[in-house]
Chain A
């Protein structure tokens, strides 16, 4: 393994994406995450078959801004729905129906509500995917056969070579100390 200008490559001269370590239990990955967090890494992630309770804290994650985006989306839906009904019934084509005023706002409530929900739901799922950088069908980790068991019953940490604190030996030692059951280099 050679290091030059902070770009790490394998012996076969392939650039390195990072180091991946496998853990056997939720407790092990949880403590490993705490260790990596406390060592001061920033470009790293854990991979678990299901969301582990408290992992956000163990990894030192910030709270997502997704709820704010959804609120914005929902209120957009509410506004557009009301505007649409008002414009169509009051401005564009006035028609007396059931003897009610053109601007009978009470009757506009159900559709306003429904479209608020519809826009919130779409914003929630689209922002979740966008913030996660998905869909993305390729990833260096997918090249590792072992990594695929993260969707079954194994737990992984991957520290990226792009991290300022990354060092092939010290990072590896940290993961070994955390109790990894296997450690692999991941090629870019």
Chain B
């Protein structure tokens, strides 16, 4: 047999992370921004800029986990770890001392705990929306953001699941939530939305994790293969990278990524079943994501309390969840694309603009829902309902209500301006407001409805305690810390999917003419999606 040479010098350097992909040199154009803001019908905006090759894509994305940790990462990770530990410490204090350390009371018996729960679970929804619904709708731009949005979903669900878990009072009895046989012989109440919620949220967390992991398997295999190739190209080994471990960092990578990638070997027969399974997961996740926030809204809607007892809640909660979730995706990705090299080639202005448009759409939907609630409160003729809404806008919590309206309804309207929805700084600003507004939305629904129930004996006020504040701020720290770990150790983009939507991925690209009859019906739009 002929022997073939080992990979050349260029490949070796590239694998070793020494040859970074050259930075893109496009000058911003006043009309098309980075070249993706094309409004001409028939011209598709490129999904990846600077004509990157497959190899460059691998190199850019794997570089984020393989190259030296960026300088800003350590202080960020440290700060967020401190906040996350603070959350842990205050939860411990809460468990030891009792729920009285929170500001809730007999009148307002759900407060920040459930506000935070709904806030976080809502944020999670954008990830599944991007991965499932946009996949079914064949929105190819999702490949730029789906991995990080799915990661965000998992971390948001982790934060969300903490709050109902600790608000139950006797946290050591949390195992009563699922139907586990116990010595009392009784079962959970299947007619209660709170139990539906247990099933919905745990199913949602599990399915999101499966979806995320499955999408990641090929990319983890890429990291495995790169580590493996580096070890084979340099068998003698460089100096120990980890001073306290008897092996090289690439050995550790080959083992861990190798284990997690399940031996994936990029076989087309495997890809066929993989794509079928992926599509099915997208198909089942779509009704799932819509059901989860609907069921969360049942927690309120099935109660008789004025302000909660409305049929508009399920669609309104789902729209709000997508709204808040996309705002969080933007909050995470806009700084990331500034901080990481070449990320602007993958997350283009067009991607940001698309998400800004979703914010405008869903923001207007929640605005419509708010006004419809008011209309029904007046038109329905129920004086308790009318009072609940008057009290929301003009009662003791008026400031929370108007913060919510300003952030959620007014601020996204800025995106009618093309300039504002294509400028990262202004998108970031609006996304921040939306995140604040969506937290206040849940606070308004929960606290203002509870604090003026039917009887004057049920009237009270809620004042957060330092324990309330520290656990919430800590959950932000936990979320960001998990996201920083994700950016460091997991491929931040779905490499295989990203390559598959590039123009050169089509077997019929570059004027390749072949007249095989079995493919005469081939999707013609596939071959020329690039703008060049």
Confirm or deny: B295 has a beta carbon within 8 angstroms of a beta carbon on chain A.
Answer: yes
Complex interface: chain B residues within 8 A of A88 (CB): 179, 187-188, 190
In this complex, what residue of A is CB-closest to B11? Answer: A149
User: Looking at the complex, which one of A125, A152, A184 makes contact with B1 (CB distance below 8 Å)?
Assistant: A184
CA A94 – CA B221 in complex, angstroms?
Answer: 52
User: Looking at the complex, which one of A26, A51, A134 makes contact with B504 (CB distance below 8 Å)?
Assistant: A26
CA A145 – CA B230 in complex, angstroms?
Answer: 10
In angstroms, how far is the closest chain A Cβ from the Cβ of B357?
28
Do B187 and A151 touch across chains, with their CB atoms under 8 A apart?
no
Confirm or deny: B287 has a beta carbon within 8 angstroms of a beta carbon on chain A.
Answer: yes
User: Looking at the complex, which one of A51, A113, A142, A152 makes contact with B54 (CB distance below 8 Å)?
Assistant: A152
Do B199 and A111 touch across chains, with their CB atoms under 8 A apart?
yes
- A26-B504, A61-B272 as given contacts; A184 in contact with B196, CB under 8 Å: no
Do B262 and A135 touch across chains, with their CB atoms under 8 A apart?
yes
Confirm or deny: B72 has a beta carbon within 8 angstroms of a beta carbon on chain A.
Answer: no
- Give the size range of B's interface with the partner: 35 or more
In this complex, what residue of B is CB-closest to A66? Answer: B276
Q: Which 3 A-B pairs have the closest CB atoms?
A: A30-B507, A153-B54, A135-B262
Complex interface: chain B residues within 8 A of A145 (CB): 6-7, 229, 232-233
CA A25 – CA B7 in complex, angstroms?
Answer: 18
Confirm or deny: A170 has a beta carbon within 8 angstroms of a beta carbon on chain B.
Answer: no
In angstroms, how far is the closest chain B Cβ from the Cβ of A143?
10
Question: Dominant SS at the B interface?
Answer: helix
Confirm or deny: B185 has a beta carbon within 8 angstroms of a beta carbon on chain A.
Answer: yes
Q: Which of A3-18 contact B (CB under 8 A)?
A: 10
Do B265 and A150 touch across chains, with their CB atoms under 8 A apart?
yes
- A66-B280, A97-B189 as given contacts; A141 in contact with B519, CB under 8 Å: no
Do A110 and B1 touch across chains, with their CB atoms under 8 A apart?
no
Do A53 and B276 touch across chains, with their CB atoms under 8 A apart?
no
In angstroms, how far is the closest chain B Cβ from the Cβ of A182?
5
Q: Mark B229-269, 1 if CB is under 8 A from A, else 0.
A: 10011000000000000000000000000110011111111
CA A187 – CA B497 in complex, angstroms?
Answer: 31
Confirm or deny: A41 has a beta carbon within 8 angstroms of a beta carbon on chain B.
Answer: no
Do B272 and A56 touch across chains, with their CB atoms under 8 A apart?
yes
In this complex, what residue of A is CB-closest to B499? Answer: A50
In this complex, what residue of A is CB-closest to B190? Answer: A85
Do A118 and B218 touch across chains, with their CB atoms under 8 A apart?
no
Do B58 and A153 touch across chains, with their CB atoms under 8 A apart?
yes
Do B507 and A53 touch across chains, with their CB atoms under 8 A apart?
yes
- A59-B268, A110-B200, A153-B55 as given contacts; A134 in contact with B262, CB under 8 Å: yes
- Give the size range of A's interface with the partner: 35 or more
Do A111 and B196 touch across chains, with their CB atoms under 8 A apart?
yes
CA A10 – CA B516 in complex, angstroms?
Answer: 37
Confirm or deny: A84 has a beta carbon within 8 angstroms of a beta carbon on chain B.
Answer: yes
Query: Which residues of B are at the interface with A, using a C-beta cutoff of 8 A?
Result: 1-2, 4, 6-7, 53-55, 58, 179, 185-193, 195-196, 199-200, 203, 206-207, 210-211, 214, 218, 221-222, 224-226, 228-229, 232-233, 258-259, 262-277, 280-281, 284-285, 287-288, 291, 295, 298, 495-497, 499-500, 504-510, 512, 514, 516, 518-519, 522-523, 526
- A52-B507, A184-B1 as given contacts; A46 in contact with B58, CB under 8 Å: no
In this complex, what residue of B is CB-closest to A156? Answer: B266
What 7 additional pairs, Cβ within 8 angstroms, besides A49-B58, A74-B284, A113-B291? A104-B191, A110-B200, A120-B280, A121-B211, A135-B262, A152-B222, A184-B1
Do B266 and A67 touch across chains, with their CB atoms under 8 A apart?
no
CA A118 – CA B38 in complex, angstroms?
Answer: 41
The 28 sampled A-B contact pairs (Cβ below 8 Å) are A26-B504, A27-B507, A27-B514, A31-B507, A45-B267, A47-B267, A48-B266, A51-B275, A52-B505, A52-B507, A55-B272, A74-B284, A85-B190, A88-B188, A92-B187, A110-B295, A121-B284, A134-B264, A135-B263, A137-B258, A139-B263, A145-B7, A145-B233, A146-B4, A149-B229, A151-B266, A152-B58, A152-B226
Do A46 and B267 touch across chains, with their CB atoms under 8 A apart?
yes
Complex interface: chain A residues within 8 A of B291 (CB): 110, 113-114, 117
Do A49 and B266 touch across chains, with their CB atoms under 8 A apart?
yes
Do A49 and B207 touch across chains, with their CB atoms under 8 A apart?
no
Complex interface: chain A residues within 8 A of B55 (CB): 152-153
Complex interface: chain A residues within 8 A of B229 (CB): 145, 148-149
CA A157 – CA B61 in complex, angstroms?
Answer: 26
Q: Mark A137-174, 1 if CB is under 8 A from B, else 0.
A: 11101100110111111000000000000000000000
CA A60 – CA B291 in complex, angstroms?
Answer: 39
Do B287 and A117 touch across chains, with their CB atoms under 8 A apart?
yes
Complex interface: chain B residues within 8 A of A183 (CB): 2
In angstroms, how far is the closest chain A Cβ from the Cβ of B528?
13
Do A114 and B200 touch across chains, with their CB atoms under 8 A apart?
yes
CA A121 – CA B203 in complex, angstroms?
Answer: 10
Do B505 and A114 touch across chains, with their CB atoms under 8 A apart?
no
Do B196 and A55 touch across chains, with their CB atoms under 8 A apart?
no
Q: Which of A56-71 contact B (CB under 8 A)?
A: 56-59, 61, 64, 66-67, 70
CA A118 – CA B288 in complex, angstroms?
Answer: 9
In angstroms, how far is the closest chain A Cβ from the Cβ of B227?
10
- A127-B277, A134-B270 as given contacts; A97 in contact with B191, CB under 8 Å: yes
Complex interface: chain B residues within 8 A of A153 (CB): 53-55, 58
Complex interface: chain A residues within 8 A of B265 (CB): 47, 139, 141-142, 150
CA A128 – CA B270 in complex, angstroms?
Answer: 8
Q: Give the residue among A59, A95, A118, A185 with the most B Cβ atoms within 10 A.
A: A118
Complex interface: chain B residues within 8 A of A54 (CB): 507, 519, 522
Confirm or deny: A129 has a beta carbon within 8 angstroms of a beta carbon on chain B.
Answer: yes
Complex interface: chain B residues within 8 A of A67 (CB): 276, 280
CA A26 – CA B179 in complex, angstroms?
Answer: 52
Complex interface: chain B residues within 8 A of A66 (CB): 273, 276-277, 280
CA A117 – CA B504 in complex, angstroms?
Answer: 36
Complex interface: chain B residues within 8 A of A135 (CB): 262-263
CA A69 – CA B274 in complex, angstroms?
Answer: 14
Complex interface: chain A residues within 8 A of B295 (CB): 110, 114
- A47-B265, A52-B505 as given contacts; A115 in contact with B225, CB under 8 Å: no
Do A117 and B187 touch across chains, with their CB atoms under 8 A apart?
no
Do A151 and B222 touch across chains, with their CB atoms under 8 A apart?
yes
CA A74 – CA B187 in complex, angstroms?
Answer: 24
Confirm or deny: A177 has a beta carbon within 8 angstroms of a beta carbon on chain B.
Answer: no
Do B272 and A26 touch across chains, with their CB atoms under 8 A apart?
no
Complex interface: chain A residues within 8 A of B510 (CB): 27
In this complex, what residue of B is CB-closest to A146? Answer: B4
In angstroms, how far is the closest chain A Cβ from the Cβ of B370?
26
- A124-B280, A137-B263, A141-B265 as given contacts; A132 in contact with B496, CB under 8 Å: no
